[in-house]
Structure 1
């Protein structure tokens, strides 16, 4: 007799999301490491996203707690990895992420940087010499910005015109390219930025220990797939491909090596669960959350219909597929929020969530405004509804 395959309903998928992503009652974490671990990594292209994503999931949210992990204890690591995107991952997980994704990204970054600087006559020897000089200058200073390092290493000030003839053409320095590659390879890391926690003016410091390049990328892909399955499962092969930036073949091989179990989904498709994660997850108590733009919960998969009405996509995403700040209720995206110039956190619900949830959203918006205080946050990628709300038309 053939055993019937497990089915996971959309309701259970939403329950899993609330519990695994530390959004349901009683699931909040005490430390930034636990938040990053639960989600495999926090999106970090927009510096503010890391803090806002953590604040939505910490029992006692604070900027200081995130900075402790990033800059004091170094228990979380900012790195260029999945989809050539910045993430903050638990430091113990960084070698696995490096072997499975970041190493290949860094290799492409180095090749691109060499080709870019070849336009002004640089060869590999000159590039290597400038790189060594930059590392030596950074070691001597301890912490420095790109402009400071360029004072020590004049070659870093040389400029190249990127995308000539295009409306978005710009002059880029050799230093910006070299430092990006060194960071992608894990040889330097971002230190505290100038300004507030929302600033992207990062300074640099040497990495405590560059990642080893000897790890097997195939085994690392399987291990990362298992972590992703537990955090986001059930997922489809296309979800894993999208989240990692791997090829479809690599995603399929990683799921097979991870021992993924196929399950039936409500939309008629096939999803995958981690091999030790097939027990049903019951519905959590009602919950609401205000998540920032690029939060890992909505950005963690390609197929989102079980928690997002497709009709709301044009209002909530930009043209490149980046999501803005969202309002959640019981595992569904039900609206959007924004911060106005006066500091008020305003929102609009796109779905009728009932009186209790509406009141809970209002309370959460007030709490977020109080937590932000004088800080003003504008998402790096602005969406139609966020712009409208921020402009005072909510």
Structure 2
């Protein structure tokens, strides 16, 4: 490319993705912890995404639900908490201190200030009252172990206090202290979501005290988070890093320098990898197919997605807020979508064809032919087998997913 930096093309990026994101059959693992360690963060806004993302990467997906429940609620080796961009993720518990210090604290300060301001505008009790109620609620949660918001409010009735939000605005509403306070305590790293009230697809969670962790300096935590993410997802551009972390550009650049990240050349410009990750990765691996859920961390991993997702496919695959729906993958690129119908059937549709997709000019055959369709069908059968009688509807619906279930 003329700049002296090693060039990493589309084919190699897809080969890295196949192995490091545990999507190629030979790269699959045996435990939810191994999946989370490989990806660092599993999107948790839709509870089903966590299980579906793990199941797609396990050698034996039949153990997905039982083993993920064990990791989340018995062994607590995985934890569901707020992280980057104020989004709920599931992280390896070992990473909670890094996530909390690198991204959570700044968000938490804004959220607490906003809550106090909103309550003051509504004439609700002040910050000192809120702090007293908070301490009482945390003590109640310690006694109960886990509790819903309603159960906590029975223990501490002041949590039921309501106040008017955005009075006089078109979006005026009535907020309850317990709902807003638990959100603040979540981003402050004091509470986490516990076991749901229903099945693994339920979004009604109990709350629990967060696991204890060391308090890390901001710069140290940011450097470590960036190192772990680049290990899983490198190469990535500065824009990718800013988008994924939600940090300022100065924070990203400081962390890149601190970890000794190496610059490489990508089709879209300069990218970065961790210091010991410059060597070429073979691109001649086995063909593979995958059915990934909406908000899967691979599909949502980068801001610049042209190398694995053709721009012309995006209107069908994303909702109006930018959330990706269920995706069908073939050899490192998104080629379609899938859905589960009311009778449990897994249906899918190929959206990419000859001459489409980011593989143009790489020497790849863009036609999704017989081999690909057979592999996708096998993955659909694999998914249907472990879902059994469970029915899953994505929290964020996309145009093609809605069409498939009609």
Class of the TM-score when normalised by the shorter of the 2 chains = over 0.9
Contact 1:100 1:218 in 2 (8 A): yes
Contact 1:232 1:300 in 2 (8 A): yes
Residues 389 and 131 of structure 1: CA distance in aligned 2, closer, same or farther (over 3 Å): same
Q: How far is the alpha carbon of 1:183 from its aligned partner?
A: 2.0
Deviation digits for residues 116-169 of structure 1, max 9, x if unmatched?
222242211100111111112222222211111111211111222334456654
**Match in the other structure for 1:59:** 59
Are 1:259 and 2:274 counterparts? no
Query: Separation in 2 of the partners of 1:185 and 1:321?
Result: 26
**Match in the other structure for 2:345:** 344
Q: How far is the alpha carbon of 1:189 from its aligned partner?
A: 2.1
Contact 1:29 1:57 in 2 (8 A): yes
Instruction: Output the TM-score relative to the length of structure 1.
Output: 0.94
Contact 1:43 1:88 in 2 (8 A): yes
Counterparts of residues 365-380 of structure 1 (less than 5 Å): 365-380=380-395
**Match in the other structure for 1:35:** 35
Aligned to 1:299, what secondary structure does the other structure show? coil
Contact 2:56 2:292 in 1 (8 A): yes
The answer for unaligned runs of 5 or more in structure 2 is: 353-366
Residues 356 and 228 of structure 1: CA distance in aligned 2, closer, same or farther (over 3 Å): same
Give the paired residue count. 387
Moved over 6 A (4+): none
Match for 1:383 among 398, 401, 406? Answer: 398
**Match in the other structure for 2:20:** 20
Counterparts of residues 1-394 of structure 1 (less than 5 Å): 4-61=4-61, 62-118=64-120, 119-164=122-167, 169-209=172-212, 211-213=213-215, 215-267=216-268, 269-283=269-283, 284-351=285-352, 352-391=367-406
Q: How far is the alpha carbon of 1:271 from its aligned partner?
A: 1.0
Query: Separation in 2 of the partners of 1:381 and 1:168?
Result: 22
Query: Separation in 2 of the partners of 1:208 and 1:77?
Result: 9
Query: Separation in 1 of the partners of 2:273 and 2:9?
Result: 13
The answer for unaligned runs of 5 or more in structure 1 is: none
Contact 2:346 2:384 in 1 (8 A): yes
Instruction: Output the TM-score relative to the length of structure 2.
Output: 0.92
Residues 169 and 362 of structure 1: CA distance in aligned 2, closer, same or farther (over 3 Å): farther
Task: Kindly report the root-mean-square deviation, in angstroms, between the aligned alpha carbons of the 2 structures.
Answer: 1.6
Q: How far is the alpha carbon of 1:82 from its aligned partner?
A: 0.5
Q: How far is the alpha carbon of 1:20 from its aligned partner?
A: 0.5
Deviation digits for residues 72-91 of structure 1, max 9, x if unmatched?
10111111111111111111
